[in-house]
Structure 1
């Protein structure tokens, strides 16, 4: 039996092979050997940290239900923090046109680091007790 591929089908197959190979390599981030894999792994680390941060943020929002003024302060603080994080990480990455292929890794690594630090802050708010007078988030019921 002879397999016939159209030019479009062959092009699709050829383009899909490196994508599959990159996915397989990115599963072993501890042993990443090339810049593309390191960039992808840094992006995955940031996405994981961001998902945890969003979960903690939603929990805090839930505890602030019915407290419109406190919730607005939370939203304002988080927006300012995201703006800071992104500006700081872009600064650390340097001018994109000068940074080269490492730019995505540097920025994503910075974002993951700062996001994990912010996560610790939010988790601290979630672990407050009623005795913590300086905590902006009510204790869990």
Structure 2
């Protein structure tokens, strides 16, 4: 019976960590949740940077669009950081702060990723899209 319970506990623990990237809130310690949320944000931020560079490449021949892209991204980063600072201010100084802050940063970054992906998928001739289609 003890072996069965130990086996079941190991399976549950393994499946919890296997899905850590999907839902950090399912982890059992605050430290693990904080680390998981931080890593999730780092992954999202790397993906965002890759997409941003792809867009930079597509607009590089248009100085005006390049300038607007840079200004927009800087403004978005300032907004994201301010929003997440405000959003997590209720737990500032607490052990859950890194989780709440990273989760906010990750969520907002995921939304921005979707926006940038949309720009990269514009069909040729789409007048609502500032990013030219890929050649």
Per-residue displacement from partner, 1:77-112 (whole Å, max 9, x unpaired)?
Answer: 000000000000011111523xx1000100100000
TM-score, structure 2 normalization: 0.80
User: Post-superposition shift, 1:66?
Assistant: 1.5
TM-score, structure 1 normalization: 0.77
Which runs of structure 1 show a deviation greater than 4 angstroms over 4 or more consecutive aligned residues?
none
Gaps of 5+ in 2: 1-13
Map of 2:50 onto structure 1: 55
Q: CA RMSD, aligned part only?
A: 1.6
From 30, 39, 51, the equivalent of 1:35 is 30
What is the alpha-carbon distance in structure 1 between the residues aligned to residue 60 and residue 89 of structure 2? 41
Higher-Rg structure is: 1
Q: Does 1:109 align with 2:118?
A: no
Instruction: For residue 96 of structure 2, give the secondary structure of its aligned residue in structure 1.
Output: helix
What is the alpha-carbon distance in structure 1 between the residues aligned to residue 77 and residue 71 of structure 2? 10
What is the alpha-carbon distance in structure 2 between the residues aligned to residue 89 and residue 44 of structure 1? 17
Deviates more, 1:72-81 or 1:62-71: 62-71
User: Post-superposition shift, 1:32?
Assistant: 1.6
Map of 1:138 onto structure 2: 132
Gaps of 5+ in 1: 1-24
Map of 2:86 onto structure 1: 91
User: Post-superposition shift, 1:73?
Assistant: 0.2
User: Post-superposition shift, 1:131?
Assistant: 2.5
How many residue pairs get aligned? The number is 114
